[in-house]
Chain A
Amino acid sequence: MTKPKALLIDITKCIGCQACVYACKEANNLPETENDEAELSPTAYTVVKEKDEVYYRRLCMHCNDPTCASVCPVKAFEKTPNGPLIYHSKKCIGCRYCIQACPFNVPTYEWKSTKPLVRKCTMCAERQKQGKISACAEACPTGATIFGDRDQLLEEARKRIKENPELYVNHIYGEKEAGGTSVLMLSNVPFETLGFRTDLLEEPLSQLTWKIMSKIPNYVVVSGVLLYGLYWIINRRMELAELEDKSTDSHKSKKTIDQT
């Protein structure tokens, strides 16, 4: 079995050349746009953004236990064992719960289409099947984005922080966020200043709903029995009360007969 793959993005090495963006477009057959897109969109699965001369990437984090896959009512998302979180477009009904729920605000929707689909980074699942690495990692000239086994990349990230503690903030983004992700990031500035949420739970968000959802079968059985029991008891007592009323009535009428 292959080990789960991951991407390690070292923000300190990114020079903002956009090579990953173009490679991504080519690999996924996305149309070229005149200007570089500022935000993720159905035609940009990754973007390079800049804040105070720090360049960083946005893309699907490929969570280990993805929120989108948990909320999708028709199982259109699937986390594959080797890393990529893939989208089965033929299943999608367009409820957009994935976009609403994603803690990283990644999935985008084809709002302009009359047969819209959700679009996001695929971690080049198709290329990986052919034994290639992701297009962005292949194109990156500085090694800011590298591709490899998740456990090895984590080790590499720890090593870089240890060797250069003045440069890096002591945080591997994606190691624990929302239960851990297949995209890992290193930075020289705190992640929240770049707009990454650092207040996410360490347990997968899907646990928050599963705690409730898993109780439903029990609830159905117990409440079914209780409600029927309640109905039966009240019904029975009514019948008895009716009988009682009748017998007292007949008793009374007997008395009146006796009296006459």
Chain B
Amino acid sequence: MRLPFKFTFWKGVLVIIWILGLIATIVRFSRGLGASTNLSDQFPWGLWIGFDILCGIGLAAGGFTIAAIVYIFHIKRFYPILRPTILTAFLGYIMMIAGLLFDLGQPWRIWHLLIYWNPHSVLFEVGWCVMLYTTVLALEFSPIAFERLGWGKPREWIRRVTIPLVIAGVILSTLHQSSLGSLYLIMPEKLYPFWYSPNIPFLFFLSAVAAGCAMVIFESHLSFRAFGHRLRLNLLADLGRVMLVTLVVYAILRIQDFSGRGVWAHIFENRTETQLFWLEALVGVIAPVILLSIKRIRLSTKGLYYASVCTITGFMLNRLNVTVTGMQASSGVSYFPSWMEISITLAIIATGFFVFSLAVKYLPVFHYPEANSRPQTVAPAERIAMRK
């Protein structure tokens, strides 16, 4: 039998993940959360909140970071990676919303957020910011579709409102990236002291910026390998520097926070929390800071790649430590996601990758006028922007 497309190993993996995800989806919606997840009254938030939402949103933070660099700071040489980053962020948010629809007990009531307001609730704020920011991302992404369709006028409208859109995007992102941490402010007696901190909003924001930059580097490497797109090492090395600075500030804040709350006494106790804390710190902060501090490594393709993989892994460990490891002790139960929770998460990620590759194939994501030509005025502009 001849298939209309080439059947590769990864396509096989994709199909298996989709089949498992489909079975899990059917169980989830026909038999409820109890039958499909290992969640309980003692452990009401699990993998879907910890991974799909907390990690997903954080890893999409590249979107607002690069948009701000390009449009607000006028560092136009980042233009070539703007579109792939916006696309990743947009897909990331859509994936996160998909995950949320699985997690909510009554997802068909999600619109209640629009009419029943509770300004005291961090989740209310997160919900609104995510809704608005996804709209912003859709608008920021729309020129790509308009170009493909040859719609000049709407393209022009969007161009005119770019600056307000980007500013709104930065504000909304700062708010909800930090608010995902603020969700835990109200649980001082539940979250383990390694992760509970009055500074958790700032820590979440900073780590998201670092992880967002790391994602841009990581993704550039993947597109380079998969689609043969040019790798712009000088840009990625600059992002590496942003990552380094952010991670160092993050580390200082966390050290200060540990001292302020007297947590140092616990860091060598023989507990699961301690081990996972050290893993998070080593992989997510210490290793990338060392790698990125060495100029030779920071300026090499491989070095940047490994530093970004470390940062991303450490970031995910941190978010899962907050949602799962850190809540374990106070909950009195031990939670591990069911195979259905895992397959739905994997299916969402796989679909994201799939849509990304389709978009790259059919839309001007990597090849667009601004990406390839460098306007004459860019050089002095950069000098000024850098001097500031």
Contacts and interface: CB of A to CB of B under 8 A. Distances in A.
Interface string B178-202: 0000110111111000000010010
Interface string A97-132: 101110101011111111111000000000000000
B32 A93 contact: no
A234 B75 CA distance: 10
Interface in B1-57: 29-35, 39-42, 44-45
B167 interface: yes
Contacts of A74: 112-113, 116, 118, 124
Contact of B186 (A76, A206, A223): A206
Interface string A73-108: 111100000000000000111111101110101011
B63 to A, nearest CB: 16
Given A95-B104, A238-B381, A111 B188 contact: no
Residue picked from A40, A92, A108, A227, most chain B C-beta under 10 Å: A227
Given A97-B123, A116-B32, A228-B167, A223 B174 contact: yes
Nearest to A108: B41
B5 to A, nearest CB: 37
Interface in B346-388: 377, 380-381, 383-385, 388
Interface stretch (B66-74, B276-284, B286-294): B66-74
B296 interface: no
B112 A67 contact: no
A46 interface: no
A40 B41 contact: yes
B121 A241 contact: no
Contacts of B201: 212
A253 B383 CA distance: 24
Contact of B121 (A73, A199, A200): A73
B341 interface: no
Contacts of A100: 44-45, 187
Interface string B223-236: 00000000000000
A76 B117 CA distance: 10
A169 to B, nearest CB: 20
Contacts of B174: 219, 223
A213 to B, nearest CB: 6
A96 B44 contact: yes
A111 B380 contact: no
A235 B388 CA distance: 12
B171 interface: yes
Residue among A94, A110, A220 with the highest chain B CB neighbour number at 10 A: A94
B121 A105 contact: no
B30 A114 contact: yes
B188 A94 contact: no
A238 to B, nearest CB: 4
A252 to B, nearest CB: 16
A213 B53 CA distance: 20
B110 interface: yes
Nearest to B388: A234
A206 B188 CA distance: 11
Interface in A186-202: 197, 199-201
B74 A235 contact: yes
Contacts of B110: 93
Contacts of A245: 377, 380
A116 B182 contact: no
Contact of A223 (B32, B74, B171): B171
A228 B175 CA distance: 17
B170 interface: yes
Contacts of B112: 74, 91, 93
A206 B119 CA distance: 12
A45 B355 CA distance: 47
A233 to B, nearest CB: 8
B270 interface: no
Contacts of B189: 103, 197, 199-200
A111 B33 CA distance: 6
Given A111-B34, A228-B167, A234-B384, A92 B120 contact: no
Contacts of B39: 96, 111
Nearest to B119: A213
Contact of B183 (A97, A200, A220, A238): A97
Nearest to B114: A74
B104 A94 contact: yes
B267 to A, nearest CB: 21
Interface of A: 39-41, 67, 69-76, 91-97, 99-101, 103, 105, 107-117, 197, 199-201, 205-206, 208-210, 212-213, 216, 219-220, 223-224, 227-228, 230-231, 234-235, 237-238, 241-242, 245
Given A71-B120, A94-B107, A115-B105, 8 more contacts: A69-B120, A93-B106, A95-B105, A109-B41, A112-B32, A209-B182, A213-B119, A234-B73
7 contacts: A39-B41, A72-B123, A73-B123, A74-B116, A99-B41, A206-B186, A227-B167
The 9 closest A-B CB pairs, nearest first, are A94-B105, A111-B34, A73-B124, A74-B116, A96-B44, A73-B123, A99-B44, A116-B105, A75-B118
